[in-house]
Structure 1
Amino acid sequence: MGADVGRIDLNDHSQGGSFASRSADNEEDESQLSIHPRHWLKAIEAFDLPRLTYNVDKKYFETLKSKPTLFPPPSHKTALFRDRYNLVYQRLLRNESFQSSLGIAGVPSLQRSSSNLATGQSYKLTPIANLLGRSGTSHLLLGLLTTSPTGDLSLVDLTGTVSLDLSHARMIPEDGAWFAPGMIVLVDGIYEEEEMIKGSVLGGNTGVGGSIGGHFVGVSICGPPCERRDISLGTGNRQGSGELSSSGGFGWVDFLGIGSERAQGARMRRIQEKCLQGEREQESQTETSAPPRLKVAVMSEVNLDNMRTLDALRKVFSSYNDLALHERPQTFVLIGNFVQTAVINGGGRAGSIEYKEYFDSLAVVLSDFPALLQHSTFVFVPGDNDPWAAAFSGGAASTIPRHPIPELFTSRIKRAFATANAELDRSHQNSTPAPPGEAFWTSNPARLSWFGPVHDIAIFRDDISSRLRRTAINTKTDEDEPEPDTTMHEALENDTVTTEPESVPAAANKPDTTSPAATMARRLVKTVLDQGTLAPFPLTMRPVLWDHASAIQLYPLPTALILADAEASPFCMTYEGCHVMNPGRLLPEGAVPTVRWIEYDVLRNRGKVREDRY
C-alpha cells in the first residue's frame, strides 16, 4: 500500500499541468471540509496497519501481498527477525558515523571535539562469517543477542553465529540502557579462534547451525543509534516556505494506511491551521486569549473491579466537566488492565457476567457527564488480563498485537454515548457542527492519528520495565581496567533523553532528574526507541503474531508514544524528537486516596503528569 501511494504521487509530479489543476481542485475541496479537529482524529488498530517489509535490494518498503493468518509457515518466523535486522541495519548505515563521505571539509557535524570523526574516520561493520581466519583482530559487529542451548550468550546476524564473551565488556553508556536476549546490539571487541568450540562436537572454524569456531571477546556494547522521524521521512531540511525537501528518506511510504507524509503532509498541515483558526475565532467570541490546544487525557491501569477506581474517574471527569469547552480534552484514553486478575480462565474472581457488570458501572459514571460524552472521543485499550486473551494466558504475557475487547461487554457504554448525543441540541451550533462524541475499542498496541501523518501517537500497554530488569545481562568489570574507547558511541549518541520540567507531579517543586525513578525511565525510553520495536524480546518471552510483526515496529518514530507500564513510575520524556509518556497506575499506592493521569498537548508535543485527591 505504501509503495503504491508513492508511485501514484510521483506520477502526478511528472504530469505537469494536470497536477497543478489537481492541486487547485484540492484547495477548493479543502474549503468545504470540516474545520473541527475531532473530524481528523482516527484510531487505527494494529491489524489495520499496512503489513510492510523492507526490501534490501530496492532499499524501499513493500507491502506484503499474502493474506495474514494465525498459523503461518515457519519461514515467516525467520522473516520476522530478518526484517528487524534489515531495518536496523539500513538505519545504522544512514547514520553519519558509518558513511565514508564524512571526510568532506566544511560539514558542521564534523566539528565535534569529543569525536574522532573530525579526522574523517568512519566505522565499518564486519559480518560474523568474515571473522574466520582473522583471530586476534578487532571488529565491530551488529547482531541479535541470543542465548544458545548451552546457556551461553551468542551473537547472530544474517551470515552466522558466534559465541560471545561479555565478562570484561562495558555498557555504553553506563546504566543508560538495558541489553537483553532478543535485542539487536553493537559489540566492539576482539575475535579469538579456538580448536574446539564449546557446545560443538566439530573442531576447526565451522560449527553446527552456521556458528563459527572460537568466541568474540566484547570490549564494549551499545544499542544501535536511534533515528529522528524527520530524517527517516526525508523531511529534516524544511525550507522557510514550509515545503518539504527532496532529499532521501521514506516520505512516500504510507506507514499507517492514511496517506504518506509527502502525499498528505502539506495538505493536512493546511487543514490543521484552518481548524486552529476556527478555534481562535470561537475563543475570541468568548473573550479568551489562551492559544488553542488539542489535549488528550491518558489514564492507565483502570481497574474497574476496584470501587475506588470509579470514584477516581468521577473526580477526573468532574474536573474537566467544569472547564470551558475549548479547555477540555478532546480525547480520553483509558488503558487496561480493566480488572486486577485475569478473567474467564477458571482461576480469576471474575467471569464474563461480572466483567460486563464492571463496564456497566463505568457507563453509569460516564452518564453523569453528558457534556464530555457529547464533545469528546473515548479510546479503550485492553491489557493482558482482559478478554479474550486472558482466557488462555491466565494473565501472563499474551500474544501481541491483541484484539480489542469484544462488543459483548461494551453495549452499555455505547448506549450511554447514544443517549448523550441524542440529548444534544445542535440548533444553536454554527454551520460546521462538531462531530458527536464516540467511543473506540481498539487493539493493543494501537495508533492515534491526528491530521493524517502530522501527529502519530502510538499506544502500548505492557509491563516492559519489569521484563527488562528480569532478563537484562550484567557485565563484570574491574575498577583497575583501562577505560574502553567510547569515541564511536559518543558520536552515535547525538541526542539525549530529556526530562520535561513539567513532567513531574504538581506536588514536587523541582524536577529530580537524578532520582532512581528518573534514571530507570531514561533507560526504558532509550532501550525501546533504540531497538525500534515494542517487543525487543524472544518470542518465548513476549509472543508476537508473525504475520503482524510490522505493527509493533517503531519506524519511523511516532511523534509521541504512550508506553503504559504499571510497574514504572509515571514520566514524560523526549528522546530524538519522540515524546514518551507513562501514566503509571491510575491509583498510586499510598494511604492518601490519589488519582494520577497524564494530560498531553498534541500541538506542543508535551505531556504533563496530573495528580489530584478524591
Structure 2
Amino acid sequence: MVSSMRSAIVRVFSTKYSLTLPASALNYIEQVLTENEIPEDEWNTGLEFWAKEYLKGEDSSSLVSLSALRRAYEVLQLGTNEDADDIDPSEINVEAHFAVVDSFDMPPVRFDPVRGGFTTARSGPSLAGQASSRASYLRERWGIIKEIILRNENFTPPALGGHDRTNYLKLTSTRNLLGRAGQLFLLFGMLARDPEGRLCLEDGDGRVRLDMHDAVPGEGLFTEGCMVLIEGEYTIDETVRVLAMGHPPSEKREVSRGLHGHIDFLGTGAVSLKEEQKYLPTILANTQVSFVVLSDVWLDHPRTLPALRRMFEGYTQAAEYKPMAFVLCGNFTQRGWEGEDGLKRYTNGFNALTDLLLSLPTLLSSHFIFVPGPVDPWSSSTLPRPPLPATFTSRLTQRIPKARFVSDPCRLKYFGQEIVICRQDLMGKMMRGLVGSKQDPGVDMKRYLVQTVLDQSHLSPLPQATRPTLWEYDHALRLYPMPTALVLCDKYERYELTYEGCHVFNPGRFVSGGGGGGASDSEGGEFEWAMYYPATGRSERSALTLE
C-alpha cells in the first residue's frame, strides 16, 4: 500500500511535472492521503490537482518546499473562486489552519532601506549578535516607519503640478539643517541621549539636540527609543526648539498585507491578500472557535488550582464551545524562582497542573500554550524571552499531547489572522521613562499605550538601558504588518479597545481578580481572564467566584 502510494506520488509530481520531492514533502503528501482516506483509484486525480495548484503559487520552484505544498493544499480545501459557493466552510478542518509561532523560530526577515522592501537573511540570527547588528536593527526600525510615513497621504505629493503640490508635508534630514537657523522644519527620528546626557533626535544621517521647553506633545506616550515626528525651529546654537511632537501615522493591516503579501514573516508560509480573503467565510462560519487567555497564573497560590479546575470544568460542559487554545501567561509563582524552595515550587506547581488536566480528558484536544513572565526562570529583562526550561515542564509536555512552552512574545496564526501574545509590564516601564505626554486630566492612559505601541510598530519602543533586546531577534518584536489582535498581558488593570482595526486587550491578573494588588486581593474569590473570538475579532471578559 505504501509503496504503491509513493509510486503514484512520484509519477505525478516528479515524472509528469518535473518536481523534486524532498522527504518531508513526500511524507506530508502520504499523510494527507492516508488521513483523508482517499481511495486508490482517486489518487492520480487528487495529486494532479495538487501539483497544478502548487505550480500556481508565487514561490513555487522545481524543489518542492513544504510550506508552499501546505498552502496549495489549503487553497484546494477552500476551493477556487468559481466553486467557492459549493463548499460548506463549516466542514473545513480549522485545526489545519492553526499554528503557534515561537519568536526564536521566526525567519530573520530584514528591511532593506535602499530597495524599500523586505528580504530574508541567508544566515540565522545569533543570541550574542554581531557588532554590526547593534546599529542595523535600529536603522531597520527607523526605515520601516519612514516608509509608512512617506506612503501616508499627508506626505505624498500630488502626481500633477499645481497649488496643492506645495501643501503636502516634507521631511527634512538632520544633515540638511546646518546653516539654516531661524527656519521651521519637520524631522523624523528616534528620541535618544547624546554622550552628555542631553535629549536629542537621531535619524539615518545624524543627530541634533532638542529644546523641549515650548514643546506641545500630541496623543500617546513619548519615551527614549520612540520614533517621533518633530516640528521645530533650528536655532543658531545648533539646537531644534521643539514646537510640536507626535507619533508617526500607523498603517492598517490590509494595506501592509497588500504590499508585502509575498513575504513570509512568521515562517508558516506567505499568503497573499487575495488568498486570505478566501478564508473569511470559514472564519465567520466557525463562531464557536475561541482562545482563552490568562495572565499571572500563580500555581503556588492556594486558590489558583481550585479556580482553574472550576474554569476548566465549565468549558467541558459544553463540548461544542470548548476553546481551541488556552494561553497561560506567567508569572507562574508569586515570588519567582529564587530562594531555597523556588525551584521546588515550580516543579510542584506544574506537576499539580498536569494532574488537573489529566483528570479532564475531554479537554485534552485543546492546545495549552505557556508564555513565561518577567520573573519566571531563567528569565532576564531581555526580549524576546526564551520558554520555561524543560526542568519544570517535561512531565506536563510528555502527558499533555498539545501542550507547548513558547517564548515571550509569541504569535498565534489562525487562517489569515495573527494574534500576538506579549507578557511584560509595559505600562509601568513606559510611564517611568516618559519624556513627554499630553497634559490633560481626562487622558485615557490605556488608549495612549495602545496607540504608542501600534504607531511604533514595535512591542518595546524603549532604549536598551530600559528594556534590552536581542539585536538579531528584533524582528520578532515587530508589529508590522499590524496584527489582527494584540494581547498585552500586564499587571496593569484590564482593558479592551480597538485601534486602526487591531483589537488590543489586557486580560488582567487571573489570581488577583481586579488586577490591582497582591495575592490577598483574591481572597474574596474572584478570578478573571479573557476570551478572544476570531469570527468577530473581539474579546470579552470572563470571571468566576469561589464560594
1:36–1:275 CA contact under 8 A, matched in 2:
no
User: Are residues 40 and 182 of structure 1, via their aligned partners in 2, closer, same or farther at CA, if it must alter by over 3 Å?
Assistant: same
The residue aligned with 1:97 is 154
The residue aligned with 1:321 is 316
Q: Distance in 1 between matches of 2:73 and 2:180?
A: 64
Name which of structure 1's ranges 402-411 and 296-305 shifts more when overlaid on structure 2.
402-411
The residue aligned with 2:262 is 252
The residue aligned with 2:389 is 406
1:168–1:476 CA contact under 8 A, matched in 2:
no
Could you tell me which amino acid in structure 1 is paired with residue 427 of structure 2?
Answer: S
In the alignment, is residue 532 of structure 1 matched against residue 457 of structure 2?
yes
Unaligned 5+ runs, structure 1: 1-6, 14-21, 106-116, 195-213, 235-248, 280-291, 419-437, 480-513
The residue aligned with 2:377 is 387
* SS class of match (2:503): strand
Could you tell me which amino acid in structure 1 is paired with residue 202 of structure 2?
Answer: V
User: Are residues 298 and 29 of structure 1, via their aligned partners in 2, closer, same or farther at CA, if it must alter by over 3 Å?
Assistant: closer
In the alignment, is residue 64 of structure 1 matched against residue 110 of structure 2?
no
Listed one character per residue, the Cα deviations across residues 28-67 of structure 1 (whole Å, up to 9, x for unaligned) are 5668998332232110100111111111222210111233
The residue aligned with 2:367 is 377
Q: Distance in 2 between matches of 1:25 and 1:47?
A: 26
1:103–1:120 CA contact under 8 A, matched in 2:
no
Give TM-score scaled by structure 2 length. Answer: 0.79
User: Are residues 118 and 298 of structure 1, via their aligned partners in 2, closer, same or farther at CA, if it must alter by over 3 Å?
Assistant: farther
The residue aligned with 1:172 is 218
Listed one character per residue, the Cα deviations across residues 75-124 of structure 1 (whole Å, up to 9, x for unaligned) are 1100011111101111110111100017899xxxxxxxxxxx98972100
Q: Distance in 1 between matches of 2:438 and 2:215?
A: 7
Give, in angstroms, the shift of residue 351 of structure 1: 3.3
Give, in angstroms, the shift of residue 353 of structure 1: 3.1
> Mapping of 1:140-179 within 5 angstroms?
140-173=186-219, 177-179=220-222
User: Are residues 76 and 318 of structure 1, via their aligned partners in 2, closer, same or farther at CA, if it must alter by over 3 Å?
Assistant: same
2:128–2:470 CA contact under 8 A, matched in 1:
no
In the alignment, is residue 439 of structure 1 matched against residue 434 of structure 2?
no
Give, in angstroms, the shift of residue 275 of structure 1: 7.8
The residue aligned with 1:219 is 243
Listed one character per residue, the Cα deviations across residues 510-539 of structure 1 (whole Å, up to 9, x for unaligned) are xxxx987xx121011001111111111111
1:293–1:602 CA contact under 8 A, matched in 2:
no
2:486–2:502 CA contact under 8 A, matched in 1:
yes
2:352 corresponds, among 337, 344, 361, to: 361
Give, in angstroms, the shift of residue 372 of structure 1: 1.2
Could you tell me which amino acid in structure 1 is paired with residue 543 of structure 2?
Answer: E
Unaligned 5+ runs, structure 2: 1-54, 62-69, 80-86
In the alignment, is residue 193 of structure 1 matched against residue 236 of structure 2?
yes
Q: Distance in 2 between matches of 1:171 and 1:448?
A: 35
In the alignment, is residue 229 of structure 1 matched against residue 262 of structure 2?
no
* SS class of match (1:144): strand
* SS class of match (2:170): coil
* SS class of match (1:233): helix
Give, in angstroms, the shift of residue 316 of structure 1: 1.6
1:146–1:181 CA contact under 8 A, matched in 2:
yes
User: Are residues 337 and 161 of structure 1, via their aligned partners in 2, closer, same or farther at CA, if it must alter by over 3 Å?
Assistant: same
- Structure scoring higher RCO (CA < 8 A, sep ≥ 6) equals 1
Q: Distance in 2 between matches of 1:557 and 1:578?
A: 7
Q: Distance in 2 between matches of 1:181 and 1:94?
A: 25
1:562–1:581 CA contact under 8 A, matched in 2:
yes
Q: Distance in 1 between matches of 2:530 and 2:73?
A: 41
| Count of residues in Structure 1 that have an aligned counterpart in Structure 2 | 467
Q: Distance in 2 between matches of 1:104 and 1:260?
A: 39
Give, in angstroms, the shift of residue 562 of structure 1: 0.8
Name which of structure 1's ranges 604-613 and 60-69 shifts more when overlaid on structure 2.
60-69
Could you tell me which amino acid in structure 2 is paired with residue 596 of structure 1?
Answer: E
Give TM-score scaled by structure 1 length. Answer: 0.71
The residue aligned with 1:460 is 422
Q: Distance in 2 between matches of 1:25 and 1:573?
A: 36
In the alignment, is residue 603 of structure 1 matched against residue 527 of structure 2?
no
CA RMSD of aligned residues (A): 3.0
